[in-house]
């Protein structure tokens, strides 16, 4: 009889241990999901997943907007090289501060390394002197024929704003005047691959 009581005590403790093990295994999977749900519910996002620029939602289709380049050709939004386009959109004039920001953009593009050719820089604003344009190569100057990007231009006279257009011809993101070039640089490798 004492063997039976000992077996029942052992089987009861084994059953309890198995139940706690099962609860522990379930908790390992369920608790992180509950924590993630709670963090998402309160609006928290990890720093590395947020884009620096302002996402345009829904994306604006721009492939039908005519842009005339300085050489006289029309900008082809959906080109065979499948390039992203970073539009430089100045204010009323593009003087010293704006031109310095353009030079910074050209240098930033070079830091993309082998992916630099996947990003083209297009300046849509008042005409720049020929020597300035030559110094800013591979930046292409052009004009927005229909003023379709007027709402995205910088508001200050010598400011510069940016807009990112994907290879399919959709305006995806904008960087308002006073943007941080480091933030733009952190965003670009995520899309220009």
pLDDT in tens, 7-43: 666 677 788 888 899 999 999 999 999 999 898 889 8
Query: Binning pLDDT at 50, 70 and 90, where does residue 2 land?
Result: low
> Which pLDDT does position 72 carry in this prediction?
87
> Which pLDDT does position 63 carry in this prediction?
87
Element (H, E) at 63: none
The CATH homologous superfamily of the domain defined by 48-191? Glutaredoxin (3.40.30.10)
Mean pLDDT of 73-90: 89
pTM score of the predicted model = 0.75
Element (H, E) at 111: none
> Which pLDDT does position 166 carry in this prediction?
92
Residue 168 has pLDDT above 70, yes or no: yes
The Cα 59–Cα 97 span in angstroms is 30
pLDDT in tens, 138-156: 999 998 888 899 899 888 8
Residue 106 has pLDDT above 80, yes or no: yes
Query: Binning pLDDT at 50, 70 and 90, where does residue 107 land?
Result: very high
Beta strand residue intervals within the chain, DSSP E: 54-61, 67-69, 84-90, 119-124, 140-144, 160-165, 170-175
Mean pLDDT of 129-142: 90
Percent with pLDDT over 70 in the chain = 93
């Amino acid at each position: 009889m004492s063997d039976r009581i000992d077996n029942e005590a052992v089987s009861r403790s084994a059953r309890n241990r198995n139940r706690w093990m099962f609860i522990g295994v379930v908790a390992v999977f369920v608790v992180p999901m509950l924590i993630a749900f709670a963090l998402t519910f309160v609006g928290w996002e990890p720093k590395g997943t947020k884009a620096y620029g302002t996402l345009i939602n829904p994306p604006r289709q721009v492939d039908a907007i005519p842009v005339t380049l300085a050489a006289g050709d029309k900008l082809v939004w959906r080109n065979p090289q499948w390039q992203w386009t970073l539009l430089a959109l100045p204010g009323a004039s593009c003087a010293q501060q704006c031109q310095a920001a353009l030079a910074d953009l050209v240098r930033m593009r070079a830091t993309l390394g082998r992916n630099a050719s996947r990003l083209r820089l297009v300046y849509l604003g008042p005409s720049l002197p020929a020597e300035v344009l030559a110094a800013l190569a591979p930046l292409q100057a052009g004009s927005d024929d229909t003023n379709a990007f007027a709402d995205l231009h910088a508001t200050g006279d010598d400011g510069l704003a940016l807009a990112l257009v994907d290879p399919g011809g959709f305006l995806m993101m904008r960087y308002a005047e006073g943007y941080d070039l480091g933030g733009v640089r952190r965003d670009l490798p995520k899309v220009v691959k």
